[in-house]
Structure 1
Amino acid sequence: MNRLARTAAPHRRLFRAGGHTVLAVAVLYLLAMPIAIWIHHDGLSRSGHSFGSDLELALWLLAALVALVALAAIQRVSLDADGGVGTIRYANITSGHRSRCFEPAEVVSMSLHRAKDGRLRLTSTLELRLAPSPHRRWNTVAIFDGDMSGDGRAEPLATIVRQVVRARPEVGLDANLRALLAPYRYGTAADR
């Protein structure tokens, strides 16, 4: 019975992001920690702190930093994988890690904030503005790129952009998205 129910349900693509970002921040901190403790004990501090207490404090700070980065970086996105324009579900720090869903046809404008534009972003962010709806109190969706310092071509952003444009061709696009979609519109790359 479960197999029949799974067969009848629409096929979804799932994307989970954040693990590599958390790991990268933890590794960078672990590399910097001994240097900071050595500088602290090399005459910059006149206090009587021991190396062990400084190391313990540094490890507690590492745990707190990794927890904060994990809260900000972890994201779950599910998309209709049948090439249709089905429901998009997401959960990340902007939604308080609660699952939210919307239809691609509800999007009235999209903008891409690229990480490589240098605004203290680890990943690119796709911001979608939704038409007001009585069943929803939020009208803005922010979804993060799956690659650190990506330019918006990675999943799930690329699939979401294509689904929204397919469902609503007149959607408002910013300059970054128009440049990203130009090869697809003018036939130099096949639409996936």
Structure 2
Amino acid sequence: MTEIEEKKKQVIGLYGEMRLSMELHEFGWQVHRAYIDEGIDFVITKYYCPKCKKYSNQWIRYAKYNGKKRKCVTNLCEHCQKTELAVISRYLQVKTSEGVSTRKTNVRKFSFHPKIRYNMGEEIFYVWIAVFDTPREKLCHFYILNTKEVSKFDNMSLPTYQITDNQKTTLTINEFGEVLNKGANYDYSCFNAKFFQNWKALEIEME
């Protein structure tokens, strides 16, 4: 890979992560980025009320002080206004891929290279981002899956998982985010049926 190609790859990666951050913020997550790359790119957090069994903002209480109405941000649930909120966390490994052109103008091939290869627990997720460049805009399609769910579409006992760091997943995706792979050995339907834009997957407290 040339220096220019490497720079372009880095820019695409940053673009995908920026778009992901904006999407997560829209769904109420606070996004924290790792300074040192140790496999986890983002830590995201939300407040959760263990009594109400729902996510919550911090309750803002108003009271008079020195004759004026004052605002006080508490750590209490905004719903019941008395339970201390817990901070719940998710850990994301983010992979961004820019599509390679195919014979069809509205279809690209994307390659993803996961670095976490095993079931790492309920709180650790992949977010795979396919950046689809069109004449009008750059479209971002997000696929959210728990690390254990790689086994739905791949054989994790392969030597490329167990011995080397070379296992890649290539997906053929159209401009609407539909994965078109029809594997003889693996079933890729989970990308369309479950992973695509599945932001609810991160809210495991609500399952």
TMscore range, shorter length: 0.3 to 0.5
Higher Cα Rg: structure 1 or 2?
1
Higher strand share: 2
Q: Give the number of the structure with larger relative contact order, counting CA–CA contacts within 8 Å between residues 6 or more apart.
A: 1
